[in-house]
Each structure stands twice: as structure tokens, then as C-alpha cells.
Amino acid sequence: MLNSTWSIRRLTPSPSLSPFFSLPTTNTPKLRPNQTPFRFMASTTQLQQQQQQSTSEFLTQRPYHPPTWASKLNPIPSHAFSLGHFPTPIHKWNLPNLPKDTEVWLKRDDLSGMQLSGNKVRKLEFLLADAVAQGADCIITIGGIQSNHCRATAVAAKYLNLDCFLILRTSKVLVEKDPGLTGNLLVERLVGAHIDLVSKEEYSRIGSLTLTNLLKEKLIKEGRKPYVIPVGGSNSLGTWGYIEAIREIENQVQNGTIKTSFDDIVVACGSGGTVAGLSIASCLSELKTKVTAYCVCDDPEYFYDYVQGLLDGLEAGVNSHDIVKIENAKGVGYAMSTAEELKFVKEVAESTGVILDPVYSGKAAYGMMKDMAENPRKWEGRKIMFIHTGGLLGLYDKNEEIGSLVGGWRRMELDESIPRKDGTGKMF
Ligand SMILES: Cc1ncc(COP(=O)(O)O)c(C=O)c1O
């Protein structure tokens, strides 16, 4: 749809599809009759009394009680949805060419779900509880054309019976064209997310806040109740996702699932929320592990400021420079890979079985390994936990570039005279 004030190209799910079963005309989230509305604030005393983490069923809402060490942060969310498969495993990662006595372990947040895989689901557990508490009937969010966050939001919204509206940023030459079905787009379009395309130029001229507000106002005029989630789910509420992840790691270390302690946590940074949660929680908890983030867009100074804003929004009273080290791993540009980076992704997959995404964890791990090669003394003897934040679907977007690196194939040699020995089934 195009007019002078509303110049975002919209792809709506095909109206001609005959529904398998009829859906209500407005997708109002169904709250259980005894479900209390989301109380964003809860008193510290209450929270200190309720320290044990509640175990909850998938897709249900649970009351949230923060760890004692986080109870001074403010505001504290009172509820969260159970959307991810937690705790995610931690295992030793036998990367080749590590400095002397250095160990790298991998926290598998790429295994936090299937369609909901990756780091974003941790933030969405809190953000969608807030959306439901506010009576939203749809979610708006924004990101790059292969945004993992947008894909996870689209799926999680549908699980909760909410519509999802995505604003996706693409190149000027592609903005008027069908975006296709590669990677995250296939999932988004299958779950019926409404997609508005904007060009990179429009995005940088107008900004994500104004773009989402434009869509919000439009939907309100149409009688909808939209809830806006910012880029990457990175606001102070979403930050609780990775505060909670530190509690999870602490539990895994304390209950003996992991028989080691860690000197460093290393993670990719794209919109800042993950690293904000990890660094404040590591600093407040017993873990006290040094957090290093490799940013894949903008630059470290931008992220020190952005993370500071998230910390201030939680009244954390700390300086981002004191609790996290942010390094640059952007390379040639956001979501753009060099041949060397892709070769690294391929070598890691072949030597360890772990598939890194090219946009986030691939660049962060590449940055970490490069620093280890250049400054081995800095890393010698350290125990590092690298957090794999998911994004596998983004790799499909690199098919052409990665094609020449992947394993070959051959026609199986079969002699005409080989007899069949088992059964009669043909599988076709
Ligand atoms: C797969 C993946 N890893 C890491 C990140 C970075 O996390 P954050 O946006 O919280 O900095 C993102 C999103 O930006 C992502 O999609």
C-alpha cells in the first residue's frame, strides 16, 4: 500500500486462503479466568520471600521472582511466559588452535527452541507477558530483512494468539519486490506475519522508533491494540531475559551440571540487550565473570551508550564501561561476510559440529579467535563461556557465497548385479 504519508510497502497474508478452521475476526489473547493482570512492579520484600524459580509449562504465564542479587533493580517484571526450552546445555567446545591451557565452553542458546531458537526468546518471555497484560491484540516490531528477532517474535506472537506486524529493512533495489522465502522470511510468512518493507535509506532517515510509531498509529486508527517491541527486543524489560540467563548459568555451575567456573563470557552484540543483561547480572551475582561483547554493527562507543541507557532504565547505578568490554567485529558491514569469515564458519562446523550463524555468533567467534591468535598471552589459561545466540536460519541467505566451501558429493557406484537382501519397501 502506497500513499504520500504512508510509504511502507506492505505484504499481507493472502486473503484468498480458505482457513482450515475459522478464526475470530480479532485475535484477542485468551487470558485464563483467574489470571491476574501483569503487575510490572512488585515489592522487594515480596520478591525476597519468593526466591525459588517457578517451573512452568510451555506457553503458560508464570509469576516472575528475580534472583536475590537482582532484587534492587527497578522495575521488576511480575510475570513471564514460558516460551524457550531452558536451561540450554553447556559443553566443552574443542576449537582448534587455542592458546596454551585455554578452554572454551559453549552455552547453547541456539538450542532454546526450534522456530523460537536463539537469544530473542529469552527477551520475548518478558516482553510478551507485558503485551498481554496491556491488553494488546497485535505486536509490531522491526529489523533487518533476515532478522532472527522478527522471526521469533512472529512465531511467539502466534503462539499467544496475537497478530504480528513486521517492518523489515532491505536494499533500495529490493524494497519494491517480493522478499522471497529464504531463511527467517519463510517462517514469518508461514505464520502469517504482516510484512512492511522499508529501504535502508528510509530506515536511517526516519529511524526505527518513528517507523514503528507510524505503523502503531495506523493500526490504532483501524481499531487495533498494538504493542511495540523495539529493534532486537532490546529495552530494559527485555534485558531481564539475560539477567535470568545468568541465574540459569549460576544454577548449572552450582548444581554440578557444569564442573568448572568461568573467567570470561563472550557473546555477539547486535542491539545491546543480551550483553546488558549478561553484564549487569554477572556483576551483581556471585559469578563475577568478565563479559566481552563483539559488536556486529555500529561501533563499541554506540553500544556502551546504548547499554548504559538500558542499565539506567533498571536503576542499576553502574557504568557500562566498568562491567563490559565491547570489541568491534563488524568487518565489512552488518550481515555482510568476508570470504575469511565464512571459511571460519565452515571450519568450525567441520571440526566441532557446531554451526555458527554468519551475522552474529560467526563474527563474534571469528573476532575472539583472531584476538587469541594475535594476543595469545591475554587468553592463556582462561576458561571462556561463549554464548551461541542462534540465527541458523540466517545462514540460508549465504547459500551462494558459502557454496564453494561446503563438502562435495558423488554418484554412488552401484554394480547392476548387487542383489537386494531386505524386505520389499521402496520408499517411493
Ligand atoms: C542470532 C543473534 N545473535 C545475537 C544477536 C545480538 O543480540 P542483541 O540484539 O541482544 O545484542 C541477535 C540480534 O541482534 C541475533 O539475532
Per-residue pLDDT averaged across 69-98, rounded? 97
Better-predicted residue by pLDDT, 16 or 217 = 217
Task: Using the mean position of ligand 1's atoms as its centre, give its distance from the Cα of residue 389 in Å.
Answer: 7
Q: Are 112 and 84 in contact (CB under 8 A)?
A: yes
pLDDT tens, 310-367? 999 999 999 999 999 999 999 999 999 999 999 999 999 999 999 999 999 999 999 9
**pLDDT at residue 28 tops 70:** no
By CB atoms closer than 10 A (0-12, 13-18, 19+), residue 173 is: exposed
| Confidence band, pLDDT 50/70/90 cuts, at residue 259 | confident
For residue 159, what pLDDT band results from cuts at 50, 70 and 90? very high
User: Is there a shared CATH topology between the 9-15+24-78+119-233 domain and the 84-118+239-399 domain?
Assistant: yes
As given in the structure block, the three cell numbers for residue 90 are: 553447556
Looking at residue 79, what is its pLDDT?
97
More confident residue, 120 or 50: 120
Q: Work out which ligand 1 atom sits closest to the CA atom of 147.
A: 16
Q: Would you call 384 helix, strand, or coil by DSSP?
A: strand
The protein residue with its alpha carbon nearest to ligand 1, atom 5, reads 270
Q: How far apart are CA 231 and CA 147, in angstroms?
A: 9
| CATH code of the domain made up of 84-118+239-399 | 3.40.50.1100
Task: Give the confidence band of 5 by pLDDT, cuts at 50, 70, 90.
Answer: very low
Cα(217) to ligand 1 centroid in Å equals 27
Active site residues: 147
Distances from the Cα of 42 to the Cα of 182, 187, 243, 343, angstroms: 43, 36, 17, 49
Whether the predicted pLDDT of 31 surpasses 80: no
Locate the ligand 1 atom nearest the alpha carbon of residue 276 and give its number.
10
Atom of ligand 1 nearest to the CA of 274: 10
Which atom belonging to ligand 1 lies closest to the Cα atom of 232? Answer: 9
Of 142, 310, 389, the residue with max ligand 1 atoms within 8 A of its CB, to mutate for a pocket test, comes to 389
How far apart, in whole angstroms, are the C-alpha atoms of residue 314 and residue 76? Answer: 8
Q: What is the pLDDT of residues 179-221, one digit of tens each?
A: 999 999 999 999 999 999 999 999 999 999 999 999 999 999 9
Rounded CA gap, 203 and 16, in Å? 31
Instruction: Indicate the SS3 state at residue 212.
Output: helix
pLDDT score at 12: 54
CATH code at 9-15+24-78+119-233: 3.40.50.1100
With 50 as the cut, is the pLDDT of residue 272 above it?
A: yes
Looking at residue 18, the DSSP 8-state letter turns out to be: P
Q: Are 183 and 397 in contact (CB under 8 A)?
A: yes
Stated pTM of the model: 0.89
pLDDT of 300 over the 80 cut = yes
Q: Residues with Cβ within 6 A of ligand 1?
A: 118-119, 148-149, 232, 234, 268-275, 357, 360, 389-391
Confidence band of 47 (pLDDT split at 50, 70, 90): very low
**Chain centroid offset of residue 151 CA:** 9
Q: How far does the centroid of ligand 1 lie from the alpha carbon of residue 307, in Å?
A: 14
Nearest CA to ligand 1 atom 13: 270
The residue behind cell 529493534 is 231
Alpha-carbon distances of 322 from 70, 161, 367, rounded to whole Å: 18, 42, 21
Side-chain half-sphere exposure of 416, counting CA atoms within 13 A: 0
Residue 26 is predicted with a pLDDT of: 39
Distance 298 CA to ligand 1 centre (A): 13
Instruction: Kindly list the domain boundaries of the chain, sorted by start residue.
Output: 9-15+24-78+119-233, 84-118+239-399
Amino acid (1-letter code) at residue 109: D
Which range (4-8, 211-215, 328-332, 401-405) has the least confidence?
Answer: 4-8
In this predicted structure, which of 225-234, 297-306, 397-406 has the lowest mean pLDDT?
A: 397-406
Backbone φ and ψ for 173, nearest 5 degrees, come out as -75, -20
Q: What length is written for the chain?
A: 428
Cβ(87)–Cβ(252) under 8 Å? yes
pLDDT at 222 over 60: yes
Q: What's the CA-to-centroid distance between 385 and ligand 1, angstroms?
A: 17
